[in-house]
Structure 1
Amino acid sequence: MNFWLFFVLAVIVAHFILDVVVARLNLKALSPRLPDEFADIYDPEDYRRSQHYTRVTTRFGLLQNSISTTVTVIFLVAGGFNSIDHLARSWVDGPIVTGLVFTALLILLSFLLGLPFSIYSTFAIEARFGFNRTSPLTFFTDICKGLLVALIIGGPLLALLLWFFETGGELAWLYCWLGVVVFGIVLQFLAPVVIMPLFNKFTPLADGPLKERILAYVRQQLFNIGGIYTMDGSKRSTKLNAFFTGFGRFRKIVFFDTLLDKLDDNEIVAVLAHEMGHFKQRHIWKMMALSALQTGLLFFLLSLILENHGLFAAFRMDHVSIYASLVFFAFLYAPLNTLLGIGTNYISRRHEFSADRFAAKSTGRAESLAHALKRLSRENLSNLTPHPVAVAISYSHPPVVQRLEALRNLAMTVLPRR
């Protein structure tokens, strides 16, 4: 057997086995006993419902993973990538344009494979647990808008990368790295102004006591913002969330309308303070820098296997090309990506603890943030007892029980009563 074929198949199967093992560990970690920290906000039925939601979504994810993995292996071994390549070459000419069509066709096939699962998840599972508010029209228009954004943004970026690799020689990977980093920074400024309004409506927060409290806190922290907005998250789901978006004078505070309906003013300010903590402690820039380093490593490694004939033989390709190398490299990079993801998630979890500390200290109300976290967990049916292995591999946020424990210790040892 071709070494590269053996390696790629081993990576696919190993990744699938890892997902199955982690999912099963997570299911076994579900405890029928409600953690003591939640006794004041959960009733037994709420807790049973959250665990049932975890079971249903986990098992559905395993089913989807099983089918997609099987289809991928069959498609690879049967020479599906070669068939797509021949189809793209029959339509257009030139390495860059052919690469764009080849990639678009693969994305289309992947989208069609995942579409039934997305429909069932949205209109069956999420609706069953009372989350879904997405209408069929909204679901369809979201897909169209997403494809349009991918075409307008992703197409030129891919064309630029292919052009760099076609013409850049030995330093092409460096040009690609710099190009993607610059593009990512520009996108951070454009997304809240151009892209996000395509999908949601942003309305300035109405004048009143809540807005006055938020502005007082923001002024106290000497924090510049471009505005305070609510987002019509209830258009698609009842789940709660809040976030900052943009930079500098374009920076916005955004609350889901569902969050404003469920939390009191103290809790909303505490959630805001947590998000502000990420900015104040430069977590956003640190994670962007880390992502940039990983991107540089990715492009450097990619440059080492470009147009590798053994790899193309493994995928049963008749033609060797740079654009197909980009696709095939994703299979080879998967193990390293998993390892890097574990490290990135660890750093992200530390940042969440740090932002919690900032929020508790700057507001003097650790109990408000703790209560907000408990409400968010209950309303979103979060898994309160994830397995440590699942946390290490895939959780960017610490389990809420650990966050509550850290806040309780902080309140007992550091914070003044307010």
Structure 2
Amino acid sequence: MSASLASLSLTGAFALALVLGLALRFWLASRQIRHVARHRDTVPAAFAQTITTQAHRKAADYTVTKARFGLLEMAFGAAVLLGWTLLGGLDWLNQALMQWIGGGMAQQLALLAGFVLIGSLLELPFSLYQTFVIEERFGFNKITPKLWFSDLVKSVVLGAAIGLPLAALILWLMGAAGSLWWLWAWGVWMGFNLLAQLIYPTFIAPLFNKFQPLEDDATRERVTSLMQRCGFKARGLFVMDGSRRSAHSNAYFTGFGASKRVVFYDTLLARLSPGEVDAVLAHELGHFRHNHIRKMLAGLFAMSLAGFALLGWLSTQSWFYTGLGVTPNLQDGAPNDALALLLFLLAVPVFTVFISPLFAQLSRKHEFEADAYAISQTSGADLSSALLKLYEDNASTLTPDPVFVKFYYSHPPASERLARMASGVPA
């Protein structure tokens, strides 16, 4: 196949995948909106004794509002993607920087930084509206404009301090490590991900939130006993000031190896009973018991290796650039490495959206397994009541569209989780 024909084929495939993916996501979101709105005024029978009609309506309204806003975000995102690719935005930015800076590492880093900066500015209005309008309207937003701006500045500085050196190293490998540069770059990327797991809990997360050791003696003793019973060791138990930014509740494990720690949102501890806290923690311990974290990392390793290998081949094909609206620098010796990275990151999600249900299904399976483990270690009644409180506190709808669930949900809906617990069906 000639380069021109390959270029046209890629353009057609990209445009078709973009249109079909957008249509599919619009159809799914529309189904979700209609289904949730249709059941807004009736609490499902299984929850009639525990969830009020008012809370059910709030969850429905919150879900519908976010879904409608998501339709606008999807349309805008597709337009921006077309602008970067087939309409020549990335090509224009690259050529402008070439004329200003010339070729070389500085121009490539400027291209990556410019792309991120422009993309972030385009997304900024949506982030502001989501936080200060939607979240505010439903009583979830607790962050002040000053704190929001402080978080933004910290994120930009941290992103530049970490991202630019990492990008420079990968770009250097692309130009200096020969035809197998992608293998070396993959090793660097995986090493970075593992290092991030180690340093995030103690150096990065505290830049944004305060983490205080769990001071309640009774809770600490119960949690410690539960972890010992489950064979889990953590470096510490911490309470995070999540209420500074949001009324949503959560608990999670973070870190890797010796840096593992358990983190509770202060909103979670204020809302759940001692037994319910134990049950939520046991659920998280179930993920470790079933090696879900290791399986996820192994999957990440495998997929990223395949991705880097594919990028290694595509970066040498002129039709890869021209088919996505960019004129490569193949004649004058200027590198195309940053262009290849950006085009790959832009194009891959367009094609992989169709296989996302597979990953969602696997995630839901893991959640069922973690639920079953939690029940084996604590009270099933406590886990059920804790989940109901969390669903209510986070305004999660109890009546999602079944097709939408299959495609998107990483966690099973409340009805399926509680029915599985009540029936005693193993995960």
Q: Same fold (TM over 0.5)?
A: yes
Shifted more, 88-97 versus 221-230: the winner is: 88-97
Deviations 1:70-118 (A, max 9, x none): 2332443442212211232244344333221101111111111110111
- Matched with 1:225 is 234
1:402 maps to which residue?
Answer: 416
1: CA distance, partners of 2:14 / 2:83 = 13
TM-score, length-scaled by structure 1: 0.93
Aligned with 2:308: secondary structure? Answer: helix
- 1:22 is matched with which residue? 28
In 2, the alpha carbon distance for the partners of 1:74 and 1:357 equals 47
Q: Relative to 1, partners in 2 of residues 1:223 and 1:316: Cα closer, same or farther, differing over 3 Å?
A: closer
What letter matches 1:243 in structure 2? Y
The one of 384, 388, 399 equivalent to 1:385 is 399
1:203 alignment counterpart: 212
- Which of 16, 20, 24 does residue 10 from structure 1 map onto? 16
Where 1:108 maps in the other structure, the secondary structure is helix
**1:319 equivalent among 315, 326, 329:** 329
Contact 2:315 / 2:337 at 8 angstroms: preserved in 1?
yes
1:303-342 pair list within 5 angstroms: 303-314=312-323, 315-317=325-327, 319-320=329-330, 321-342=336-357
Distance in 1 between the 2:133 and 2:327 partners?
40
1:310-368 Cα offsets, whole Å, 9 max, x none, are 232241426351211111123432244324533222221111111111111011x1010
Give secondary structure in 1 for the equivalent of 2:264. Answer: strand
Amino acid corresponding to residue 157 of structure 1 in structure 2: L
Picking from 57, 62, 69, the partner of 1:60 is: 69
Greater shift in the superposed pair: 117-126 or 275-284: 275-284
Q: If the length of structure 2 is used for normalisation, what is the TM-score?
A: 0.91
Q: Who is 2:252 aligned against?
A: 243
Q: Partner residue of 2:276?
A: 267
Are positions 1:42 and 2:51 aligned together? Answer: yes
Aligned to 1:147: 156
Question: 341-350 or 251-260: which moved more?
Answer: 341-350
Give the length in aligned residue pairs. Answer: 411
Query: 5+ residue gaps in structure 2?
Result: 1-6, 331-335
Letter in 1 for 2:407: I
Stretches of structure 1 lacking an aligned partner (at least 5 in a row): none
- CA distance in structure 2 between the partners assigned to 1:72 and 1:220 by the alignment: 50
Asked whether the equivalents of residues 56 and 397 of structure 2 are also in contact (C-alpha less than 8 Å), the reply is: no
Q: Percent identity?
A: 34
Distance (Å, rounded) in 1 between the aligned partners of 2:406 and 2:173: 36
**Please, what is the CA RMSD of the aligned residues?**
1.9
State the distance in 1 between where 2:404 and 2:269 align: 31
Residue matched to 1:367: 381
Aligned to 1:356: 371
| Residue matched to 2:3 | none
Partner SS state of residue 85, structure 2: helix
Whichever residue aligns with residue 360 of structure 1, its letter is I
Letter in 2 for 1:101: A
Distance (Å, rounded) in 1 between the aligned partners of 2:82 and 2:228:
56
Verify the 8 A CA contact 2:253 2:284 in the aligned structure 1.
yes
Counterpart of 2:333?
Answer: none
